[in-house]
Structures are given as structure tokens and as C-alpha cells.
Structure 1
Amino acid sequence: MYKMKKKSLLFLNYLGLSSHMIRKINNEIPHFDEMEFSDQKHSLKSFLSGTWHQKLNDIEEKKIISYAYELKESGIDVLFYGHKGYPEPLMEIKEAPMVLYMKGEYLTTDELALAIVGSRKCTAYGKMVCEYFTKELSTIGITTISGLAVGIDSIVHKTSLEQAQRTIGVLGNGIDIIYPKKNYKLYEGVEHSGAIMSEFPLGTKPIHYNFPLRNRIISGLAKAVLVIEAQEKSGTLITAGYAASQGRDVFAIPGNINQYSSQGTNRLIQDGAKLVMDIDDILNEIQDFLKLKRKEKKNEETFKLSQEERVILDLLRMNPMSADELVEKTGLDIMTINPYLTILEIEGYIELSIGNRFISKL
């Protein structure tokens, strides 16, 4: 494919054309890149449907120049398909975004990334598993990628930042819009400790149609995709579908067969996704990850704990449990268990979650 000039790409993206349509224009309008701006507009009127004509009439070249200046003043970088700085993993996929807006910085080390996606309405189990895997990835230096939405996405980014690990958020709206609004602090953290990306021009609202398009970028940037929790019909499964079509490995966490939020992940496993129970299940499948060395875990000073506390912590790492369930599993009585739980909670190893169940924070 011929590499379009940055100026032409920015104009077409600003106009609101999809990457698919920009690619089509590049292939089907001869010498489009070499035309004067007025001739480009004229040729687009012949190529596009009438609904675009008013937009074309309203656009002047100075608007594109002003837009480019606005991007620069706002600290927003623009990455163009085929040009220097464009993420190498995206060059491998069929429907790569022709233009990417970015805040933060994309490093070559970010090419070794794992996308983690899941339900917006995650369970305590999903939260625990997401935190566990994200922390494990941080010990190896693997960048995480997700969509900066509520639920699993937010947990991925938040945990990565807590572990001083790079993370990338991909948006389904303009990069100048924070959605949901309550994630503004998380947005700032990701910008400063990784990158935020969007293929949509400034001012684009977070409409439903944008998110499936966004999902192909999440999977395309990654070596593989890990699905934590998903309903049977969800955007998470769209991401998994894109990953498979892009030649990326798809991993899934098994869940309770009666839990609505696990029906999608269980179905993925049934359809061929790789079942994951431990971080090594992922590392052993991705050769590039095996080259990385584990760092010492900063917050796992479990050698200071008593044998009983270690047993309780190990059980909670596997599943959230109530005090009564821990009594049943450990054989200790409730009067013995409760002080241990208090100590572990004070020290920051565990926390009390939904349904009076304790979950591990490690």
C-alpha cells in the first residue's frame, strides 16, 4: 500500500472518515496525495455520498492547519500509518488505524504487551483475578493494554500504576474527552505512566458504534489478549474475536458455570481459547515473554507471616472467602481465624469485599 502524506491523512481523519474509507480513497482515487486541497475536495465529492458534501463545502485548508496547531498546543502527538513512530504491532493487522492520536509516550518495549479485557460489571472474583494477573505481569515488565472503561479496564490500569508498570489505554471517543468522567485521575495517571490512544478526531463523542472499532486496536497492539470476565454477548468477546482474526493468542479465565459474568469466558474456552489458571500458562505460550526476567515482588514480604497467616493468604489468592468458609477450609476455629484476618487486613494483604468475603490484595 502506498504511504499517504501526513497532511492528507489528517485532513481525511478530521473530516470524520473511517480508516477503512481512507484506505479505499488511497487505493481508488489516483494521485489523491499529489492534488491541491481544492482538487482533493472536488474528487471526494465525486467519491463520497451526498451526505458528506456539506461537510466538504464547510472545510477550508486553514481549518486543517488550525486543527494541527490545536493538537500541538494540547500536547497531543499524531501517529500516521506507515510513518516513523507508528506502533509496529498495528502494522501487522488488516484494518490498522490510519491515524492515531496519542497522549503520553509509546516505547519499543510496549511491543511486548498483553491486553486484559473484561466485564464493566465485574464480580469480586473478577477483580481479584484481574489484580493478581496484572501484578504478576508487573514483575516481568510486560505492558498492559485496556480500554479505560469502568470495571476490569479500570482495575487493569489502576493496578498497573500502583505497581509502577507501563499501561496503555485505548479510547472509543476523542482523546480530549474523558469517559467516564469519574476516571479523570486514572486518565492522567495512564497519560503520565504510559500512553492514551484514539483513532477518533478531537470532539468525537463516546457513541456505541465506536467501541467495537476501538477494540481492534486494543488487540492489535498486544501480543495476546486475556479475557477475565465476559457475558455471552459483550464487547469483550468482540475484542477476543478481533484478536483471533489478527493472529493473536486468546486466553480466558474460567468461572462459575452458573455465573452470568463467566458465560462468555467459559464459551471462549469451549471454542478454543486457552484456559488460564496461572501467569505461567500465558508466559509459556508467548515466546517473546519468556525472554523477560522476573523482578522481585515489592509487596510480597510473606516471609514475615506465620504459617497460619500464609495458609489463609494462599486460600484467598485462589478465591474470595468468608470467615466461615476459611474455618471450613483451614480447620481452625472462628476465634483463631478472626485475629489472623484482622492482622492481614491491617497489614494490607487482604480486604473485606462484597458479601462479607475477604479477597487477597497481592
Structure 2
Amino acid sequence: MNRKYNGDEPYAYWLANVLGIGNRMKRKLSAYTKSARAVYEMPEKELAQFLSGKKAEKMVKERKRWDVEGEYGKLQEKGVNFVSLSEPSYPEKLAAIEDAPFGLYFYGRLPDESVPSVAIIGARECSEYGRYMAGLWGNQLAGEGVALISGMARGIDSIGQRAALEAGGNSYAVLGCGADICYPAESRDIYEQMKMQGGILSEYPPGTGPKPQLFPPRNRIISGLSDVVVIIEAREKSGTLITADMALEQGKEVYALPGRATDSLSEGCNRLIKQGAGLMLSVSEMLEETGLREKKERWEENLSGAKSGEGDKGQVKLEDCLDFYPKSIEQLQGESGMEYREIVCRLMGLCMEGEVKQVSAGCYQKNGKYNIRI
């Protein structure tokens, strides 16, 4: 059975799939009309105020051929979640970047805004030293309660993510293809594991195959979702440095692992450090320097507050609102009278305990083992 959706979701999905119009314009149109459905219903003359005549005409013709609810139903049948920029559950960090994707397709869940997140990226053909450091820091970040963001690429990316998952942490992969395609195929194990311990994200519709031109744009999402980007091994002219540049443009902290001056795999990292990037020597030191440790401690305090003291009373109220059919955060907010952030924090705690599960973007329901109060 397809889950229920609000009246705007199928139209947001349609708008995300409109070709020839960039993310900025889609965002502008949505802000102007206040909903994707209103964009869909805009007269051609009004559309022409934002788009060239030919683009406005093409958009009107294409929307007549698009079965809004039918196409959205097909997406649901595939089990892929979709969230648009206009929804509260869209990641705030990502929404803040200049060219944020209008829509995200994902499995699992979206990164929690209150949890610190770090991207570990680097060379595909890495050295044993690079492999060791990626694994070590992936493991340590997970132990510190930090979410790991990466692209699941062969080499440094997947090694760091695998280490984080094996340590019981959360990791999120941003793909340069549809979220329903595991690329590279050799990473199938962590691809499946991230659906349970994080998420698989993409701005490309399901079924989109991996193409070289799709990977550079996805790097802005990796850095956009991260508080800090850590580079482990990169040649002087490396694609990894594209992510570093994007991170700096977004105002994010960039750290790099130093290497020998004679090692070509360290040329890019050494150059970044010379230009002002942070010197990555230890996870603990990086967390202190960037303020992420303080952010992590605040998150832990909020999480523990949801389980004790006055938080218990609020949690009972939230439990009373939850049921065995999905409810959105907005529904829970209206029924409980709790603040949005408080609900998200407490839901995360319940999900971690296995008492509640997220069934789609911003929708939660009780698990079978949930303790029913009598």
C-alpha cells in the first residue's frame, strides 16, 4: 500500500524532474508561489516573467504529459523516499548552499541536523598509509558519535565509511547516480548497511546510471551536508580537490592529512595545508579546533534529556501520539504541542533504541517491539 502524502509532494516530484530549469529557478518559483502545485498551475504568461518564452512554453507542454499522481505512485512503489527543498525535513545545512538540489532521493534516513558530520574523502588508488588513516579516523569518528559523509567511491571514501559502520556509527553516501543503483558494485555490503545505519542519497532520479559528468556536481552535496571535510591523499590535479574547493566556497572547514613532499598522493593535501587548510593529525584535535566536540556534547545532553527528568514526561506524551501507522513530524507536533527540534531529537533516540522506525521522509511509526503503555 502506498503511504499517504500531502497534496504538494507529487507536484514537488514533478518540478524536480523538469528539465532545462536549474535548482535556483525551481527554488525561486516555489518561493514565489508558496507551493510546487501552484508552480504547476501557473499560467504560461506568468511563467514567462521568470522563464524565457520558449522555456515557459516547453514547461507548459511537458506538464500536460506528466501524470502527477501516477508518476509519484511509481516512485513510492520503488521504495525510494523523496524530499523537496520546501519540506521541513530537508537538511538545513544543504538548503543553505547556493545551488542546493531542489529534490533528494534517498534510502534509510536523512542526516540529523543536530549531530556533527564529517566528510572523509580522498584518492581511489590510495596507499597503505592512506587506507590505514581512513579506517582509523572513520572508526574514531563513529566512536565520537559523529556521522560520516562520503561518496562511497572506491578507495578512501568507502574505507572510511566501512570503518564507521563496523564501529556501529552512522554513515551517509551521496551517489553520482540514482539512489537505487549501487556504484561501485563492489561496495554492495556497505550500500545495504547504510540503509540501516544512515542513508543513501542522490539528487538524480531512480534509474539514472553513473556517468562521469554527474559526479562533480554531487561533491557539493557531500560538503554541503558536512560540518568539516577531511582530505586523505589527493594528487595535485585530483577530483577530490573539487570537493575541497566547494567546501571552502560554502564556508566549511577543510582539513588535510600531511604527507611526504616526494609522494605524489600527498601533493594535493600538502598544497591545501600550505593554502590554509587545517592540519589533520588526530580526530580529537580536529573536533576541539572546529567546535564539533561542543556540538556533540550539546546533542548528547539533548538526547539524555529526552530519556530522563522532565524529558520523560515529554517522551510519554510523544509515545501517546505515535501509532502503528506512519505519522509525520508535523502531525506529532500538532498532537503533542512539542517543539519541532525536540520531537526530532526524541524520535532519533527512540529509533536508535529500535522502538520507533522511520518509514519515509519525516514519517515515523511504532516498531512491533514497542512497549505499549496500559
TM-score, scaled to structure 1 = 0.71
Compared CA separation, residues 12 and 40, structure 1 to 2 (3 A): farther
* 1:86-235 matches, cutoff 5 A: 86-108=90-112, 111-235=115-239
Aligned to 1:245: 249
| Alpha-carbon distance in 1 for matches of 2:194, 2:34 | 41
Aligned to 1:280: 284
Aligned to 1:12: 15
The answer to whether the 8 Å contact 1:230/1:265 transfers is: yes
The structural deviation recorded for 1:77 is 1.4
* 1:284 match: secondary structure: helix
The structural deviation recorded for 1:211 is 1.5
Compared CA separation, residues 125 and 49, structure 1 to 2 (3 A): farther
Q: Which amino acid aligns with 1:250?
A: V
* 1:192 match: secondary structure: coil
| Alpha-carbon distance in 1 for matches of 2:291, 2:258 | 23
Q: Which amino acid aligns with 2:17?
A: Y
Q: Which amino acid aligns with 1:13?
A: A
The answer to whether the 8 Å contact 1:37/1:61 transfers is: no
Aligned to 1:306: none
Per-residue deviation, residues 45-70 of structure 1 (Å, max 9, x unmatched): 99368699778746545533222112
| Alpha-carbon distance in 2 for matches of 1:107, 1:120 | 25
Aligned length: 291
RMSD (CA atoms): 3.1
The structural deviation recorded for 1:126 is 0.5
| Alpha-carbon distance in 2 for matches of 1:45, 1:57 | 17
The answer to whether the 8 Å contact 2:234/2:241 transfers is: yes
Quick check: which has more Rg, 1 or 2?
A: 1
* 1:42-57 matches, cutoff 5 A: 43=47, 47=51, 57=61
1:290 equivalent among 288, 291, 294: 294
The answer to whether the 8 Å contact 1:252/1:265 transfers is: yes
The structural deviation recorded for 1:101 is 0.8
* Residue 268 (structure 1) aligned with residue 268 (structure 2): no
> What percentage of residue pairs aligned between the two structures are identical?
34
| Alpha-carbon distance in 2 for matches of 1:282, 1:104 | 28
Compared CA separation, residues 72 and 245, structure 1 to 2 (3 A): same
The answer to whether the 8 Å contact 1:111/1:222 transfers is: no
Aligned to 1:347: none
Unaligned segments of structure 2, at least 5 residues: 1-7, 301-374
* 1:345-356 matches, cutoff 5 A: none
| Alpha-carbon distance in 1 for matches of 2:50, 2:87 | 28
| Alpha-carbon distance in 1 for matches of 2:55, 2:200 | 31
Aligned to 2:330: none
The structural deviation recorded for 1:181 is 2.0
Unaligned segments of structure 1, at least 5 residues: 296-362
| Alpha-carbon distance in 1 for matches of 2:274, 2:104 | 35
The structural deviation recorded for 1:8 is 4.0
Compared CA separation, residues 130 and 36, structure 1 to 2 (3 A): closer
* 2:244 match: secondary structure: helix
The answer to whether the 8 Å contact 2:33/2:39 transfers is: no
TM-score, scaled to structure 2 = 0.69
